[in-house]
Structure 1
Amino acid sequence: MESTTTPTAATVRVRASELQGRGWLNTGGAELDLEKLRGKIVILDFWTFCCINCLHVLDELRPLEQQYSDVLVTVGVHSPKFEHEADPVALAAAVERYDIAHPVLDDPELVTWQAYSARAWPTLVVVDPEGYIVAHLSGEGHAAGLATFIPELIAEHEAKGTLHRGSGPYVAPEPVARDLRFPGKVLPLAGGNFLVSDTGHHRLVEMGPDLATVVRTIGTGAKGLADGPAEAAEFNEPHGLALLPGELAAEVGYDVVVADSVNHRLRGVTLADGRVRTIAGNGVQRLLEAGPARVDDDGAAASAADLGTAALEVALSSPWDVAYSSALGAVVIAMAGTHQIFAFEPASGAVSIVAGNGLEGLLDGPADQAWFAQPSGVTEDAQGNIWVADSETSALRVLKFGPAGTSVETAIGEGLFDFGFRDGDAGQARLQHPLGVAVLPDGSVAVADTYNGAVRRYDPASKTVSTLARGLLEPSDVLLDESGEVPLLIVVEANRHQLIRLPLPKNALQVDEGAAQTQRPKTNVAPGELALKVNFSAPTGQKLDDRWGDPTQLKISSTPPELLVSGGGTSVGLSRTLVLSPDVPEGVLHLTARAAACDGPEDANGEIPDHAACHLYQQDWGIPVLLAADGATELALDLRGMD
């Protein structure tokens, strides 16, 4: 069904479509349908476990789920982007990994996705207790609006007698005891031990040389944020680890930098006693620069490369990996949440943007113009270059520092919707959502090809790709181990909750299982003029911030570029007329919509006060289109649509 969610005065009510898929998780084996959920407020969360924005939404919804547990039911509708995400075993592991405490519908064929006209990850659809759609929200950052909307629905349906209080259908799975739980990254220590981010246990673990003996733990194992001694410190899904040079470590008083992803912070660890301190990040997820809420052409985050020296006051967003850069004299950060590479100077506390303008995609060139998509692994080579596992484009990228400035190049990868398992010439090779990188003795690069369950090797000299190992369960990091007579590769096998060593064969396996694209349904559109409109309704208590002009923005491009005859580029407003070429049979429209709104109440003149808290709403869409004479001439998307 096509849900109509444009806010109007009309009384048209649209029934929610039935929930259909392969099966259910977190229900104790029970099958759910809308009839069983009648009387509850239902939030359908269309997500996929590769998507950092979807993970943000999981955390945004947790407080609402707890506060309104007797009337609100969240149903996660898992609609996979990558082939690997359609594997039910991988989905079950992801549900466990992210501590999802609500029912999840496995929708591998995107049946329910299509029924609700979802077009982007994440999408939220709110269904009222009578089974009608009352809101359609794209992207993240909607928690404040929902916190206002849910009490309104409660009051309305309590008065009508259609609200039923009581426990929901969630059934918690049985816990499993393990030394490691979904480990993320690994770091070698002096003396032969290894420090591991025990991500699922929210702590760090020091392992012996055998990669099995637990020497000590740092952190209580409880999800949270607390500095202090090892036995009292708390993390929230820590990932990347970077060891500082000895002199710098002595100067700043800590040895290891930790990317504490869900806390949106960097933490410092002193190895001698395991003491933990917060060294960067204010804990607020980075969405918009501080100050007046307005949308600049390339996004607020890209407006200044230098974010200042007050590291504890800077907002970060899901830092996923860290590595010390000798070329920069700083720790580089794979800032997955904003699709950028940051840098942190421990001695001065300076935080800066090294590369990426915040737009999601694959675009090379000068660092401040480059696009990344959820960078998740970083490492430095002997020449000082920084190699990046750019997960959502299934790409291997490299940052090079030269007299003319920093540039970004792609070694492997094609775009947001292209992936596969193919060796050979790097221009045709394919990865699937890689998360880790390591430089090998010959200067080649090992890649944790996570969703292919493999370790791949890129040779910069020949520009070819080969396979070092396969049959792994979501390898999340790779590390060159030179502690023995023969160099070996350590692999963090996240979904087997272990670390393993692999040999480095002289002649790697050659694999060609083909290339693939994300198989989302294509939208039939007519060549010529296409009227595009993005619906946005500010939440109750907020107002569009028009103090500096139109607070909304559309940025539009296409693949291939020839698809878009006119209407591309960046301009204010949420509607535009595009012209599509009749000579291009199909392609992808890339759309980014932004809107800035501020909290009320308004002052006596109806204006937003200067001290009001402001919010940025943003969503990126990649809309696959098929041109046909009888195709649509209008396209409507919901950034935040309310009935």
Structure 2
Amino acid sequence: MTDSAPAPTRRRARVRAPELIGKGGWLNTGGRQYTLADLRGRIVVLDFWTFCCINCLHVLDELRDLEEKHRDTVVVIGVHSPKFVHEAEHGAVVDAVERYGVEHPVLDDPELATWKQYAVRAWPTLVVVDPEGYVVAQHAGEGHVHAIEQLVTELEAEHGAKGTLRRGDGPYVAPEPEPTALRFPGGALVLPGGNFLVSDTTRHQLVELAQDGETVVRRIGSGARGFDDGTVDTASFNEPQGLALLDDSAVVVADTVNHALRRLDLVSGEVTTLAGTGKQWWRGSPASGPARETALSSPWDVALFGNRVWIAMAGVHQLWAYDPAEGTVAVAAGTTNEGLVDGPGAEAWFAQPSGLAATPDGERLWLADAETSALRWVDREGAVHTAIGTGLFDFGYRDGAAGRALLQHPLGVTVLPDGSVAVSDTYNHALRRYDPATDEVTTLATDLREPSGAVLAGEDIVVVESARHRLTRLRLPAEAVEAGAVARRTRRAATAIAPGDLRLDVIFQAPTGQKPDTAHGPSTRLLVSATPPELLLEGAGAGTDLFRTLRLDPAVPEGVLHVSATAASCDDDPAAEYPACHVHQRDWGVPVRLTEGGADRLPLVLVGMDS
């Protein structure tokens, strides 16, 4: 994921394009499977992308004009090439294609087979194949579509003269729209009257829902992709995401693909533009100035912090701030380098900052740094700190001490009444909780399909389940809402274990209709460690069996066993050419106390029934 790349390399040598192969099959083709031979005579642009990558989303938008202008000669093929584990799930790719309005065929390549054949090294990468099936150009990064359009014009002339150009309709077949009230909502806000305002991202609208979180009160915006100020019915947005109250009568909207901040008047329904030009910020552009004259880059969320509207500027890996009094915008933190570096704001590195939430006392601005799978915060002096997360390729699912905890591409943060933070752990389909008082991470809820944010409603938390197209209400645990709870720490009762050998058994049974996925080797993995490490004399480390004999040191009377288990299964349907596969993962922290007469076997259930 990068917005800077080497100069494009044009390949005029006759290099035959490798075949398009992807275990996940084809999307947006009406069920038809394609080969390069089927596309002979057309100019093919292969877009190697993954849906977590903001630069890839920029390229999707850049390609829209090219596709429209050359629709009878050019076929764009998206080759989805995942980074995160979640992105290898076929259903998640199906969702992403609809979520981001992809209007061309997509090859789902979860094993990176085509990526490797084309020697791709970065997201995004564009490859041009001429009408005779030869690779003629390859560009890494974004901002290259104008050069590709020039090449397309040359290829149209060259192959039109040779008689090797075939014009006509492309292979794209639009999927049937689904009649849900919301479609991939991004953010939510509780309005002063108690109703909810939701960014209905894929439909390019805002939707006001009644206090039940289901009944539609009104829709704001035409529903067409666009950048128009106006009334409830005539204004237009382009994939809006985050929302924040400016005051009791107005909301600021992160209008992501328009690279703008918009203002919604809650009384009149009028929509106006606060910041941004509608064009994407590029390196070398002004990084401060009058808000309506300064370009932004994929603002993903907004929050009031220190009398300014802070902006999670995902497109350039920075935080910006909009000053309502002065009508200006400026960089607040970040260098545009992508990574995880703490320190003074001017020196910090981010990687697609996405969700923002300020504490009521104005002391901290919490943020979900999506690509580093991190929870971070900014203090009143503007310095950046990290609570969870270590780097761009460190992700997973693990509760416990924050230094060891793992998230997977979180998009939202919510400050809870006790001062702890709920993290919408998007790619883990979970709501996690970080408690600054104990520096520990716990899980509040699982089986939330791609949660992208959450808001408080009394003693409940209402989660934006983006991929289930709804708001889901959950009851917060008492320790997250009770006054003074930050000073308490609840400990799980220790399990009495006999000194010496302990048989650890993780019980896994594939759910009904599934079978263990052994296509590429063992389908299970077990990782064991202990706090303190001296508790384990033997048995620490990773292995593929879900059972193990541990030897505990009698000289260490108590501690915690950390067990992480993973198992994979696939749908057991002989008729399915590409059966869906599933990953079951769970982490346990088991407090143990060594005592004579204690148990010599520790059973833990990963999946033992239909799930």
* Both structures adopt the same fold (TM-score exceeding 0.5): yes
Residue 496 of structure 1 pairs with residue 468 of structure 2: yes
Matches within 5 A, 1:61-80: 61-80=63-82
What residue number does 1:288 align with?
283
Residue 330 of structure 1 pairs with residue 308 of structure 2: yes
Aligned Cα root-mean-square deviation (Å): 1.9
Tell whether the 8 Å contact from 1:257 to 1:266 is kept in structure 2 after alignment. yes
Residue 257 of structure 1 pairs with residue 257 of structure 2: no
Aligned equivalents of 1:507, 1:189: Cα separation in 2? 26
Aligned equivalents of 2:424, 2:45: Cα separation in 1? 35
Matches within 5 A, 1:195-234: 195-234=197-236
What residue number does 1:581 align with?
none
Deviation of 1:200 after TM superposition, in Å, equals 1.2
Deviation of 1:125 after TM superposition, in Å, equals 0.6
What residue number does 2:455 align with?
479
Aligned equivalents of 2:145, 2:344: Cα separation in 1? 36
Give the aligned length: 476
What residue number does 1:296 align with?
none
Match of 1:400, as an amino acid?
Answer: D
Deviation of 1:506 after TM superposition, in Å, equals 4.0
What residue number does 1:431 align with?
407
Match of 2:188, as an amino acid?
Answer: V
Judged with a 3 Å threshold, the aligned counterparts in structure 2 of structure 1 residues 38 and 45 are, in CA distance, closer, same or farther, namely same
What residue number does 1:468 align with?
444
What residue number does 2:568 align with?
none
Match of 1:212, as an amino acid?
Answer: E
Aligned equivalents of 1:411, 1:42: Cα separation in 2? 45
Larger RCO, structures 1/2 (Cα 8 Å, 6+ apart): 1
Deviation of 1:80 after TM superposition, in Å, equals 0.4
Match of 2:297, as an amino acid?
Answer: S
- Give the structure-1-normalised TM-score: 0.72
Aligned equivalents of 2:229, 2:444: Cα separation in 1? 40
Aligned equivalents of 1:376, 1:229: Cα separation in 2? 28
Aligned equivalents of 1:283, 1:173: Cα separation in 2? 29
Residue 395 of structure 1 pairs with residue 377 of structure 2: no
Matches within 5 A, 1:434-473: 434-473=410-449
What residue number does 1:27 align with?
29
State the Cα deviation string for residues 137-177 of structure 1 (Å, max 9, x = none).
00100121112111001111111111111111111111112
Aligned equivalents of 1:29, 1:394: Cα separation in 2? 35
Judged with a 3 Å threshold, the aligned counterparts in structure 2 of structure 1 residues 12 and 350 are, in CA distance, closer, same or farther, namely closer
Moved more, 173-182 or 501-510: 501-510
Aligned equivalents of 2:469, 2:8: Cα separation in 1? 46
State the Cα deviation string for residues 361-409 of structure 1 (Å, max 9, x = none).
111111111110111100101342100001011100100123xxx2111
Deviation of 1:288 after TM superposition, in Å, equals 2.5
Match of 1:489, as an amino acid?
Answer: I
Structure 2 residues not aligned, in runs of 5+: 1-6, 481-489, 493-505, 507-611
Tell whether the 8 Å contact from 2:9 to 2:138 is kept in structure 1 after alignment. no
Residue 270 of structure 1 pairs with residue 265 of structure 2: yes
Tell whether the 8 Å contact from 1:393 to 1:418 is kept in structure 2 after alignment. yes
What residue number does 2:576 align with?
none
State the Cα deviation string for residues 324-347 of structure 1 (Å, max 9, x = none).
11xx21100000101000100112
**Which residue among 41, 51, 54 is the counterpart of 2:53?**
51
Deviation of 1:479 after TM superposition, in Å, equals 1.1
Aligned equivalents of 2:29, 2:185: Cα separation in 1? 26
Judged with a 3 Å threshold, the aligned counterparts in structure 2 of structure 1 residues 331 and 21 are, in CA distance, closer, same or farther, namely same
State the Cα deviation string for residues 20-54 of structure 1 (Å, max 9, x = none).
11111011111111110111100010000111110
Deviation of 1:17 after TM superposition, in Å, equals 0.5
Residue 413 of structure 1 pairs with residue 386 of structure 2: no
Residue 373 of structure 1 pairs with residue 351 of structure 2: yes
SS at match of 2:405: coil
Residue 241 of structure 1 pairs with residue 243 of structure 2: yes
Tell whether the 8 Å contact from 2:375 to 2:388 is kept in structure 1 after alignment. yes
Tell whether the 8 Å contact from 2:375 to 2:387 is kept in structure 1 after alignment. yes
What residue number does 2:170 align with?
168
Judged with a 3 Å threshold, the aligned counterparts in structure 2 of structure 1 residues 461 and 72 are, in CA distance, closer, same or farther, namely same
Judged with a 3 Å threshold, the aligned counterparts in structure 2 of structure 1 residues 25 and 272 are, in CA distance, closer, same or farther, namely same
State the Cα deviation string for residues 252-292 of structure 1 (Å, max 9, x = none).
xx6110000010110011100110001110111001334xx
Judged with a 3 Å threshold, the aligned counterparts in structure 2 of structure 1 residues 11 and 258 are, in CA distance, closer, same or farther, namely closer
**Which residue among 330, 351, 357 is the counterpart of 2:335?**
357
Aligned equivalents of 1:11, 1:343: Cα separation in 2? 46
State the 4+ residue runs in structure 1 displaced beyond 6 angstroms.
Answer: 507-511
Tell whether the 8 Å contact from 1:129 to 1:162 is kept in structure 2 after alignment. yes
Deviation of 1:211 after TM superposition, in Å, equals 0.2
Residue 16 of structure 1 pairs with residue 11 of structure 2: no
Tell whether the 8 Å contact from 2:67 to 2:76 is kept in structure 1 after alignment. yes
Over the matched positions of the two proteins, sequence identity in percent amounts to 60
Judged with a 3 Å threshold, the aligned counterparts in structure 2 of structure 1 residues 208 and 6 are, in CA distance, closer, same or farther, namely closer
What residue number does 1:129 align with?
131
